[in-house]
Structure 1
Amino acid sequence: MSKLADANPVIDRAPRLARVTRAAMGVAIGTTATGFDRHAEAQTAPDTQLAPVTAVGAVAHPTGGYQVTMPTIDKLTQPLLDTPQSISVQPRALLDDKGVTTLRDALRDVPGVSLQAGEGGQQGDNLSIRGFNAQNDFYLDGMHDFGSYYRDPFNLESVEVLKGPSSILFGRGSTGGIINQVSKQAQLDPVTTASVAFGTDGTKRTTFDMDRAIPGVTGAAIHLNGMIDDGGVAGQDYTKNRRFGLAPELAFGLGTDTRVKLSYFHQQSYDTPSYGLPWINGKPAPVNTSNFYGYSQSDYFRSNVDVGTIRVEHDFNDNVTVTNQLRYGSYQRSIAVTEPLITGYTASQDIVPATLPLSSTLVHQHVIALSSRETTLDNDTDVNLHFKTGPVSHDLVTGIEVSRQTSDPTRYVGTQATVSLLTPTTLSSSVYPLTVSSIAGNTANAYAVYATDTIKIGDKLQVIGGWRFDRYDSTYHQIVAPVAHVTRDDDMPSWRAAIVYKPVPNASVYASYGTSFDPSAEALSLTASTAAVAPEKSTNYEIGGKWDTLDSKLSLTTALYRLAMTNVRETSLVDPTTSILAGDYRVYGFEVGVTGHITPRLQIFAGYSYNDAEVVASPNINELGHQPPNAPKHTFSTFIEYKTPWYGIEVGGGVNLVSSRTASSLPVTGTTIIERAPGYTIGQLFAKAPINDHITAQVNITNISDETYYDGLHPGHIITGAARAALFTLNFKL
C-alpha cells in the first residue's frame, strides 16, 4: 500500500489501485454539507501542505480544497490532467462555501452551462451545455438519473460536468455534455455532522451526516445522510419549495479485494412553482417581477424519487478489476401550474399592439397539468484491465450495459382564464377544472457494448481509442384519441479518438474527436410524429491543454472546439404534424479554467466559456443564422476563498456572468421578433468563522447588487432570478 501513499498524477495506475484506495479511504476526501471535513486528519492549519493525489476512481482533491485531480467515473481511467476532454468538477468544499441548496445553484457557476425553464411535460432541472439542451443528461454515480425533479445536493460529494459529446461513455444524448452527481459513500472513520440554516428568503434547512464502522464486521460501515428544506425564493412572494431527503448506505469489504455497497436515495418535494412572466413583443413583460399569474393554493409540483443501487467490485489481481452496478429507480411526479401567455391581440403569440396600454393588456392563464411515473432498471458491468504489449502499456475498460426505462404520463387541460398583466388578482384558492387530454406510455430498452483503451507509449505520448455500440428499442402508445401505437429501433455506433502529449510530467496538450447521437425516444418522448425519424448525430473536434502548476496545487485548463449537430429534428413545413431531419447546428467555442490554491491561504474556482452557436441549416428560412435556444455567447464565473490569519475566519465571494440569449431560434410567428433575455452579472459573498471546536458559523449573501435578471427561458414564459438574499448557517461537528 506504500505505492498508494506516494501516488502522483503522472504515475501509471492499475485499476485495482483505484478500487483499493477508494475503499480503504471510504471514498470521501473533502467536506460534508455541513462545512466540516469528513476525515479527522483534514483538520489542519490554513498553511498546511496540500494532500497527495489518490488513485483513479477516488474523489481526490486537496484537503478541504477546490482542486480535483481524478474523475470518479469508472470508464475514465486517467487523471483529469491526462483526460482529453473539458471537465469541470465542483467538490463538496466549494458547494459548502457557496452555500448552495439546489443543484441548479451549483451548476450556474460552471462555464458553458446556461439554465433554462422546464418544458410543459419536463419539469425539474433544465439547462444547456455549450448551447445544447442537457435536461436528459443527468447521471448519478455514472448511471442515468433521468427523472424530472429538482435535485438537492445534500448527498453529493462532488458534481462533475463533462463537456462535449460523450456517447462513448453513456450512450444516447450528451451532445453538449453531461452532469454526473457523485454521492457520498460509507467510510470506516466515524463522522457525525449536522447543519441548521435560516435565510431571508424564508429558507429553513437542516442536514445531518453520519458514518460508523459496524462493530464486529471487518471492513463494514454504515452511512446515513438526511435533509429537510422549507423555503421560498427572494423576490417571489408565492413560490415555495419543500423538500425532504434521506440517503443510507451499507458497505462491506472496505479495504479488501471484494467490496459490496448497498445504497438507497429518497427525495420528495411539494412545491408551489411560479412560471414567471409572459413575453411581450420579444422581451420580458415590463412589470413588477414579483407578479404571480397562477393560483397560489392550487398550483403545485410534487415529486417522489426512490433510487436503490447495488455495487459490487472485485480485484482478481493487481491488473484486473470487475465492477457491476445494478440500479432500480422510480420517479413519480404530479403537477398543475399556470403559464402566463400573451395571446389574442394578433395572430401571433406574445405580440401586443403599440397602441394598447399595459393596463389594458390581459394574460391568459394557460394551465399545464400532468401526473406520471418514470422507472429505470439499469445494469452496468465494467472490466478494467491493465497490461503491457512489449514496451507499450494499456488501460483498457470494456463492458456491457442493459437498461429498461418506462414513462406513463397522463395529461390534463384546464379552463384558460384571463387576468390583468399589471395587477393580477386571481391569487386566491380558486380551483380550475381539469379534464384528461392524453394517456400515453413510453418504453425504451437499451443494450450496449463498449471498449476504450488508453495506450501509453513512453512517458510523453498517449493514444486513446474508444468504440461503443448501442441498440435502442422504443415503443409509444396513446390510448386517448387520436389512438396510436408506434415503435422505433435504432442501432448506433459511437467513437472517440484522442492523442495526449505530455511535454513535462505536470502538463498535457491534446487533440480529440468524439461523436454522439440523440434518438427520437431519448427522453422517453417518442410520438407518432417522430417515430419515423432517425437519431440526430453530433461530432466534436477539440484541442486543449492542461497544466498543474504551483507545485501541482493550481490547475489551468484551456480548450478550443467545434461542435456540430447534423440532421436536427425540425417540424415539416409540408405537414406540421410530422418531424423531419433537416436542421444543422454549429458551435465554435473556447474555454479556460483556473482551479486550486494560488497561495496556501487563497484558492479559486473560475472559468470562462465562449460559444458562437448558430443554426446553419433549416427548412424554415426564418431560423437560419439565429442562435439555438438558450445558447449565450459568454458565460463567466469565479469564486474565491481566503483563509485569514485571524481566528480561523474565512471570507470570499464570486461573480457570475451570462450574456444575452434567446428562448427560441425561430421568430415569433408572422413577425421578425426573436424572444431574447438580456444578459446579467450577479455577485455573491460569504464569510465563515469557528465559534468553538465543534461549531462554525457561516453567512452567504447572493445577488448582492439586487439585480433584476432572468434565470429560466422558455418560448412561452420567462422566470426571473432570485433577488438579494442572505443565508445564515450553523455547522456542527460532534
Structure 2
Amino acid sequence: MPKKTLLNAATYRTYPRVPASVSLASGMALAVSAALPLTALAEEVQLDALVVEDSGIVADSNPYAEPGAPYKAKKLSDSKHTRDIADTPQTMTVLTKDVIDESGKNELKDLLAAQPGITLGTGEGGNSFGDRYIIRGYEARSDVFTDGLREPGLITRDTFALEQVEISKGPSSTFAGRGTTGGAVNTVTKKASLDDDFNKLEGGMGTDDYHRFTFDANRVVNDSLAIRFNGLYSESDIPDRDPAAEERKGALLSAVFQATDDLKLAADYYFFRSDDRTDPGVAFDRDTQSFNRYDYVGQDGLDFQESGADIFTLAVDYQLTDAARLENKTRLGNTTNDYIITAYSAGRGDIRSFTGWQDNDYVGNQTNLIIDTELGGKRHTLVTGVEYAKEDVIAGNYAIDQTNTFTIDPYNADNNLWEGSTSKSDKMSDLTLKTWSIYLMDTITLNDDWELFGGVRYDHFDYKLWTAERERRGTIVPEARYAFSDGFWNGHLGVVFSPWENGNLYASWGTSSNINGGEADAGSSCGYGGLCSDSDGNYAHADPEQSTNWELGTKWNLMDEQLLLTAAIFRTTKDDVIEEGGDSYSTGGSLNTGKNRVEGVELGLSGNITNKLSGQFGIAVMNSETLESYDESLVGLPKANFAEKSASLQLKYQLTSDFAFGGNLTYASEMFGGQPDTGARLNIRTPGYSVVDLFALWQINPDMSLRANMQNVADKEYYTAIYRGGSIVYLGDARSANLTLSYRF
C-alpha cells in the first residue's frame, strides 16, 4: 500500500499508478520546444516534468475498478467506506462489471451462489419464493442493498443494470443496520455520466430458446446535465427443464445534474417485471437417501411466479467546504412477488402447491456528513449520519379449486393435467416496521504505518404485525395483533498495520443484531425468521439476537497495484438465538436459548496475474457448530444450508489484442438440510459439486464484439439448495450455450 501522507482533505487524493504514454509526452515536449522563439532556445530553460496518464477507461467502464485491471475493484461505492478496499479491515468480495458480463450469469442469485462462503436457501411454505442468500451460514435474504440503501422485498434480481456487486463478510451493522450477521450484499447501479455520450446495444441467442436484449445509452445534454437509460428484455427455458421458463423486462432511467461546482443532484427510476414458471427441483427420499430425478411437473394454467419492482431514488451531494461533504439519499419503492409453484413429494406420492403473494412498500432516507480533516496532528475521516426506513408488507396466498382428479407421473413430461381455477386471498398478514438510526465512524491515520477505524451505531425500531384468522394443519389460529419496540447499539473496531509499501496486516471486531420477526416475508412463521412467541404467547420479551465477529487478515497490492491478494481468519458467534419450537409453521419458539458459531479461513485474489492473464479467485474453508440449544440433542451439530468448503475461480487469457478466452470453476462441498440457526438434520444432505463454465471474447472491430458462453460444460447434475424438511432439492442448471453480439455506436 502507498504510504499515507497527511494532507488537507481538499488535496488528499489517491491516483492510480498507470503507465505514462511516453510517446505522447515526448510529442508534447517537442511541440512546446517548437513554439518557443529562437532567442529563447539559446537560454537554459527549466521545465517541470510532464506526466501524462492514460487511464484506458472507456465511457461505460466501471468507475470503481482499478484502471487497467478490470477484474480488480479499487474502491467501494458506499461513501461510508472511506478507504480503498486494500486498506479496509474487512473481507470484501467485489464483482466488477467485467467479471459479471464475462461470466454469462444474468441473475444475481447465480452470481452469488458461485462465490465462496455463500449458499442458496429455498422458497418454502413459510417464506416467499425469491432470491434467498445465506452468507457464512447465516440468513441474508433481507440484507440486500442497492446503492447503499436497503432493498425492499424478496424478489428476482437481474444484472442488466448493475455496475458492481459488493459482498461484505462478517457483521456490518454499523454500516447497514439490523441483520447482516454473516455479511451483506450491495448492488451498484449504472448511473448517468457527464463524461461522454455512448450507446451500446446487445443481443443474445442460445440453446433452450434463450433470447436476451439490452440497451445502454448515455446522453450529455449539456455541461451540467446527463441522462442514461438501461433497458432489458429476455426470455429462456430452464435448461433441460422445459416448460419451466423465465421472462424478464426491465429498465433503469437515471439522470445527474451538476447544479454548481459544489452541488450535484442525481435521480433514478428502476422498473422490473418477471413472469416465470419456476422449477422447484426434484424430490429427496429421506428413507433411501436418494434423489428422485424426474421431469418438471408444473401445471399449465396453474403455475406462475411474477415479481415486480418500481423504485425511485433521489440523491443530493453537496461539498460544504474543502474538508466537508453532505450527502442525502431518499428512496420510495414498491415490490411485489406472486406465485403458485407445483412440486412432487416422493414421500406422499402426490403433488403439492406452494402459493403466496406479497406487496412491499418502502420509504428510506439516509443523510451522511463526511469530514476529512486534520485534528491533533492526525488525519481523521469522520462519517456521521442518520437514517430512517419504513417497510409496509402485506401478504397472503392463493386458493386452488381443482375440478378434476388425476395421478401425476413425475417421470413423464406430459403432466399438464390440472383443471380448475385459482383465486387470490385477502391479506393474511400486515407488517409495518419503522427504524431510526444514528451512527458515527472515524478512520484515523496515526502515522505512515498505522491506521485505526472505529464506529458505533444505534438503531431503534417499532414493529407492528397483524395476522388474520387461519387454519394451520387442522387447527384454527385466531386473528392476532403484535406490537413492540426496542433499540440496540452495535460497533466496529479495526486496525491496519502497513509498514510495507504494498501490503498490510489488519485486525477487526464487529457486532450485529437481529430482531424478533426481522424477516419481513415470514409473518408469524417462527421457524422461517418470522415473529416468534414462547409457550405463554410472549413475543416482546425476546431480546435481539447478538452476533460478534473477530477477523485477522492481510491484503497485498501487487503487480503495480493491478493485483490484490487477501487472506483472513475469522470467527462469528451468534448468541441469544431465537429457536423454532418444533413446528416451524407455528408462532411458537424458544426465545434467546440458542448459540452457534462459524469460524474459518478465506483467501482471495483479483486483478491482472500477468499482462495477459486476469483472474478472480476465492476459497472459504469453514466450520460451524451449535453451541447451545433448548434441545440438548442439537448441541454439537453443524448448521444447515452450509458448505464447509467452497471456491470460485474466473480466469481470462488475452491471446491477442482482439481475442480472449476463459472460464469459471465453482465448487461447493456437501450441505445438510434443516432449519437455519438450529442444528442440521444429518439424514438430509446434498453432495458436493464442481461446475465448469467457458467463455470467449472476440473484438470484431472497435465498435462490435462477440461473446460466447457455455454454462456447465460437462452437463453436471448437481443440487444448489435443499428444502428444510428434505423432501425437495433445487437443481443446478444443466448445460447451455449462447452468443452475445455487442454494438457500440
TM-score (normalizing by structure 1): 0.87
Partner of 2:360: 374
Distance 1:692 1:77, change over 3 A: same
Q: CA deviation at 1:623?
A: 2.4
Alignment match, 1:719: 730
1:554 aligns with 2:559: no
Within 5 A, what are the aligned runs for 1:632-647? Answer: 632-645=643-656
* Aligned partner of residue 93 in structure 1, secondary structure: helix
Matched, 1:114 2:119: yes
Question: Cα deviation per residue 1:401-434 (whole Å; 9 max; x = unaligned)?
Answer: 0111010101235479863454476324534655
Instruction: Report whether the alignment pairs 1:609 with 2:620.
Output: yes
Matched, 1:493 2:489: yes
Q: C-alpha distance in 1, partners of 2:12/2:414?
A: 60
How does 1:99-110 map onto structure 2 within 5 Å? 99-110=104-115
CA distance in 1, matches of 2:183, 2:451: 23
User: 1:38 matched to which residue of 2?
Assistant: none
Show the counterpart of 1:450.
439
Give the superposition deviation at 1:18: 9.8
> 1:620, CA displacement in angstroms?
2.1
Instruction: Tell me the distance in 1 between the aligned counterparts of 2:465 and 2:13.
Output: 41
Matched, 1:286 2:282: no
Counterpart for residue 466 of structure 2: 477
Check 1:20–1:500 CA distance in 2 against 1; reply closer, same or farther (3 A cut): closer
> Where do residues 250-649 of structure 1 align in structure 2 (5 Å cutoff)?
250-253=255-258, 256-281=261-286, 285-289=290-294, 291-344=295-348, 362=349, 364-414=350-400, 419-423=408-412, 426-428=415-417, 430-431=419-420, 433=422, 436=425, 439-481=428-470, 482-524=478-520, 525-527=522-524, 529-530=532-533, 531-532=539-540, 533-572=542-581, 577-579=587-589, 580-645=591-656, 648-649=658-659
Distance 1:310 1:672 in 2: 46
Give the Cα separation in 2 of the matches to 1:108 and 1:537: 26
The question of 1:66 aligning with 2:71 is answered: yes
8 Å CA contact retained: 1:9, 1:79: no
- Asked whether the 8 Å contact 2:551–2:570 carries over to 1, the reply is yes
Return the alpha-carbon distance in structure 1 between the equivalents of residues 453 and 265 of structure 2. 30
- Displacement of 1:437: 8.7
Relative distance call for 1:253 and 1:293 in structure 2 (3 A) is same
8 A contact 1:395–1:455 mirrored in 2: yes
Q: Aligned partners of 1:306 and 1:492: how far apart in 2?
A: 31
**Are 1:168 and 2:168 counterparts?**
no
Deviation of 1:285 (Å): 4.9
Quote the offset at 1:551 in angstroms: 1.4
SS in 1 for 2:72: coil
Cα distance per residue 1:583-638 (max 9 Å; x no partner): 11111110000111011111110010011012221122332222212110001110
Mark the runs of 5 or more structure 1 residues left unpaired by the alignment. Answer: 1-6, 22-47, 345-361
Deviation per CA, 1:531-572, whole angstroms, max 9, x where unpaired? Answer: 332221111000000000121111000000001111211123
SS in 2 for 1:286: strand
Q: Distance in 2 between matches of 1:94 and 1:674?
A: 37
Aligned counterparts of 1:574 and 1:102: Cα–Cα separation in 2: 33
**What is the deviation of 1:713?**
2.1
- 1:690-709 aligned at under 5 Å gives the runs 690-709=699-718
Look up the equivalent residue of 1:256 and give its one-letter code.
Answer: D
Q: Percent identity?
A: 27
Q: Secondary structure at the match of 2:109?
A: helix
Residue identity matched to 2:216:
D
- Deviation per CA, 1:374-393: give whole Å up to 9, x if none: 01100000000112222211
Q: Is the 1:622–1:667 Cα contact (8 Å) retained in structure 2?
A: no
Change (3 A) 1:720 1:568: same
- Structure 1: how far apart are the matches of 2:168 and 2:287? 33
Q: Which stretch has the larger CA shift, 690-699 or 655-664?
A: 690-699
Give the Cα–Cα distance (whole angstroms) in 2 for the partners of residues 293 and 196 of structure 1. 31
Q: TM-score, normalised by structure 2?
A: 0.86
Query: Aligned to 1:268, what secondary structure does the other structure show?
Result: strand
Equivalent residues of 2:552, 2:568 under 8 A apart: yes
Q: Secondary structure at the match of 1:409?
A: strand
Q: Deviations over 1:72-106 (max 9, x none)?
A: 11211011111110001111011111122111222
Q: Assess, with a 3 A threshold, how the Cα gap between structure 1 residues 303 and 665 changes in structure 2: closer, same or farther.
A: closer
Assess if the C-alpha contact under 8 Å between 1:633 and 1:659 holds in 2. yes
**1:94 partner SS:** helix
SS of alignment partner, residue 630 of structure 1 = coil
Measured against aligned partners, the alpha-carbon deviations of 1:31-53 in whole angstroms (never above 9, x if no partner) come to: xxxxxxxxxxxxxxxxx98769x
Tell me the amino acid that sits aligned with residue 400 of structure 1. Answer: V
Task: Say if 1:157 and 1:468 are closer, same or farther in 2 by CA, change over 3 A.
Answer: same
> Does the CA-based 8 Å contact 1:238-1:274 persist in structure 2?
no
Map Cα deviations across residues 349-380 of structure 1 (whole Å, 9 max, x no partner): xxxxxxxxxxxxx2x32222122210110000
Partner of 2:672: 662
Which of residues 98, 105, 109 is equivalent to 1:93? 98
Q: For 1:118 and 1:12, locate their aligned partners in 2 and report how far apart those are by CA, in whole Å.
A: 51
Corresponding residue for residue 201 of structure 2:
194
- Cα offset for 1:69? 1.4
SS in 2 for 1:408: strand
Structure 1 contact 167–516 (Cα < 8 Å) conserved: yes
Q: SS in structure 2 opposite 1:107?
A: helix
User: For residues 9 and 313 of structure 2, what CA distance do their matches in structure 1 show?
Assistant: 22
Question: How far 1:64 sits from its partner (Å)?
Answer: 6.1
How far apart, CA to CA, are the structure 2 residues paired with 1:12 and 1:50?
26
CA separation of 1:636/1:521 partners in 2, compared to 1, >3 Å: closer, same or farther? same
Partners of 2:447 and 2:482 lie apart in 1 by: 53
**Aligned partner (choices 135, 149, 158) of residue 152 of structure 1:** 158
> Residue deviations 1:92-149, cap 9 Å, x none?
0111111221112221232111123223332211121111111111100000013211
> Structure 1 514/668 Cα, relative in aligned 2: closer, same or farther at 3 Å?
closer
Q: For residues 260 and 503 of structure 1, do their structure 2 counterparts lie closer, same or farther at Cα, with a shift above 3 Å needed?
A: same
* AA in 2 matched with 1:204: H
Q: CA deviation at 1:395?
A: 0.4
SS in 2 for 1:325: strand
Question: Structure 1's 20 and 428: CA in aligned 2 closer, same or farther, altered over 3 A?
Answer: farther
Does the aligned pair in 2 maintain the 1:272–1:296 contact within 8 Å? no
Amino acid at match of 1:660: E
1:66–1:605 CA contact under 8 A, matched in 2: yes
**Are the aligned partners of 1:298 and 1:336 in contact in 2 as well (CA < 8 Å)?**
yes
Determine the C-alpha separation between the residues in 1 that align with 2:479 and 2:717. 46
* Structure-2 separation of matches of 1:180 and 1:13: 31
> Structure 1 residues 550 and 50, CA, compared in 2 at 3 Å: closer, same or farther?
farther
Indicate how the Cα distance of structure 1 residues 292 and 563 shifts in structure 2: closer, same or farther if over 3 A, else same: same
Task: Report how many residues are paired.
Answer: 676
Partner letter of residue 185 of structure 1?
K
Distance between the aligned counterparts of 1:692 and 1:550, measured in 2?
A: 29
Give SS of 2:343's match. strand
State the alpha-carbon separation in 2 of the partners of residues 666 and 159 from structure 1.
25
